[in-house]
Amino acid sequence: MNYYTISQLAEQFDISTRTIRYYEERGLISPIRTESGQRLYTKKDRAVLKLILRGKRFGFSLEEIHEMISLFDNDRTGRKQLEKTIAYGEQKLKEVTERIEDLMQLKQEMEAILADFRERLQKLEGVE
């Protein structure tokens, strides 16, 4: 298998190494170590990092992202655990759905405003 160093990942995602170490401090990512203590990241670690950054773009806090990651990550075997996980997941899914609807409304409003501006510009050009 193949590993990434911290600076490789940092470059790939255009973030600092400090940022990656900070995510580790907060328990969001857990790379293995070489004998001498250097961090090594697997493809899976990379995927987690990608997930973190996407969550951030959506305005989720690291705390929320942490919750979501443990949702996907932990193999919850017990029935109660599964039910809890599903309930939590359904709630998060609902939140995401609401956000999408909200954003689509914003999009429509922006399009309307833009249409208005374009019309104004047309009139100005007509006069000229």
Residue ranges in contact with its own copies by CB under 8 A: 54, 56-60, 72, 76, 79, 82-83, 85-86, 89-90, 92-93, 96-97, 99-100, 102-104, 106-107, 110-111, 113-114, 117-118, 120-121, 124-125, 128
CB of 15 within 8 A of CB of 49? no
For 123, residues 6+ apart whose C-beta sits below 8 A from its C-beta are none
CB of 41 within 8 A of CB of 51? no
Shortest distance, CB of residue 82 to its own copies, whole angstroms? 5
Which residue of 1, 2, 14, 35 would you call a contact of DNA, by CB under 7 A? 35
Strand locations in the chain, DSSP E? Answer: 32-33, 39-40
Which residue matches tokens 């429509």? 108
The binder of 42, among its own copies, DNA, none, by C-beta within 5 to 8 A per type, is none
Nearer to its own copies, 7 or 81 (CB): 81
Contact range with DNA by CB under 7 A, out of 60-68, 89-97, 109-117, 120-128: 60-68
Query: In angstroms, what is the C-alpha Rg of the chain?
Result: 22
